[in-house]
Structure 1
Amino acid sequence: MSSKSPPPVPPETTDAAQEVAPRRRGRPAKSEQDSLRGELIRKSAHLFRTQGYDNTTVRDIAAAAGIHSGSWFYHFKSKQEILAAVMEHGMNESLARIEEIAPQTLPPRQAFQRLVEVHLHNVLAPNHDFIPVLLYEWRSLDQPSRERIIKLKDRYEAVWDEVIQRLHASGEWSMPTRFDRLLMFGALSWTAQWYKPGRASLEDLAAQAVQFILRTPAKP
């Protein structure tokens, strides 16, 4: 071995050096960022629902997520941007749920009741604040964000329209109009104001809602 060559480092010295190596600074790893971003969306949704969008500050959101206020801006540029993220998250979850039903494979009334059940779950399920925020804070959203969410809303309603057409063809909804659909969504969404867990299960509530909307009992 040359006299100029450095002496070999014992394995235990290398391990110790690795243990005390300083942690690399900068943004967290992508998986950590995604996890924190999701947590910020969930906490924001709850605060926007319980306190209102205007009454919720960036500091409130950071405190609820357990991070420093400055860390918030790694993920969102403004409170307006996170409001849009909350609504988009809610609409994407709702779309995924109703598209899982595959309503075209079910009898029309059964498919309709499943859609009602999913909609009520989106509005009433514990810790599911996204759709109520969309309903109550829509006017707080800027126009570009509204346009993105309207596209998701149109996809959501297209699934309902197909089932309503099948109900009409079967004779179970004799004269559905566009106002009927607006009244239907209004009534279903308003349950957030009065429904209390324990009064009825979401399945029972959905069955009652279907009978109320169609004005006919289910056929035996």
Structure 2
Amino acid sequence: MTTLQGAVVLVVGASGGLGSRIAAELESRGAVVARSSKSAGHDLRDPAVVREVLHDTNAEHGRLDGLVIASGVVAFGDASDLEPATVDELFAVNTTSAVELIVQSQPYLAASSRDGREPFVVTLSGVVAETPVAGLAAYSASKAGLAAFVVAAAREYRRAGIRILDARPGHTGTALSEHPIAGSAPRFGAALDPDLVAARIVTAIADGEKDLPSTAF
């Protein structure tokens, strides 16, 4: 079990459909939530901004006990029609910035562990990391890259007392698909309820779970 009461958690992508719900759910369980989002002027593709956000969170609250990375962008279309700029943006936001957050948060989370708490990182690679989807080739690849990094990094971070949990829900009913950086969304099947997805993720944090495959939703 991980105690969320009083835990300081930074939620990245906190203005998004899922990030906002995860932040609210964490607060309902007593966590102190710091929010970061592109709408707040935080372009986390820049490692210097990542450093600033983490430093400011630690400076304001005195520590960092958890990090939830819920930011992301999506693009639709055939693989043969992909523009280089689209691929660059997908990987910069979905993969590289998430990796940078995990890397730069390590000293803060390790300090939390040394102080006797149970620090964690949550990533949201989604079902496409397990089953890449036609029409979403580059998006699937960007999320699969993040998931692969997490599998390996989690083994290393465990030595410092830090748990990394990757969540891979199926298509969830948020507005992400309505604002792609390229292409138009295909017709999806029934969407998962974002409130239930957020609650399931926070329950997994509290219960000490180490992985949330698509079958967990």
TM-score scaled by structure 1? Answer: 0.33
Q: Greater relative contact order: 1 or 2 (C-alpha under 8 angstroms, separation 6 or more)?
A: 2
Which structure has more strand as a fraction of its residues? 2
Larger radius of gyration: 1
Which structure has more helix as a fraction of its residues? 1
TM-score scaled by structure 2? Answer: 0.34
